[in-house]
Amino acid sequence: MILSEKKVVGTGNFGNNSTPIVGKMDLFVISSDGRMGILDFKCSPKEYSEFNDNEDPSKYDPAKIRTFQY
């Protein structure tokens, strides 16, 4: 089964913190043997993957910084 643009709403447990999760996966695949795969493409005109704490964070979207750091 292949699902595109699959909405995700729920809660994730990260350490001792429960965090709300809301988003959309670009592609969600379930194989005939029950294995699952997720593709979620990220793109941006800025190099978020190279962002470091010495840069001015006001130039960047905080959610995208967290996404690329993760």
Domain match, 54 and 68 both? yes
Q: Does the structure show a pLDDT above 60 at 49?
A: no
pLDDT for the residue numbered 69: 63
pLDDT for the residue numbered 14: 78
CA dihedral 7, 4, 28, 8 (to 10 degrees): 0
Domain match, 32 and 47 both? no
Domain match, 30 and 47 both? no
Give residue-wise pLDDT tens across range 3-19.
888 888 888 887 788 88
70: domain range? 42-70
| Measured distance CA(53)–CA(1) in Å, rounded | 42
pLDDT for the residue numbered 50: 61
Domain match, 3 and 24 both? yes
**Full-model pTM:** 0.44
Domain match, 24 and 54 both? no
Domain match, 46 and 28 both? no
The domain total for the chain is 2
Portion of the chain with pLDDT greater than 70, in percent: 61
pLDDT for the residue numbered 46: 60
Domain match, 32 and 15 both? yes
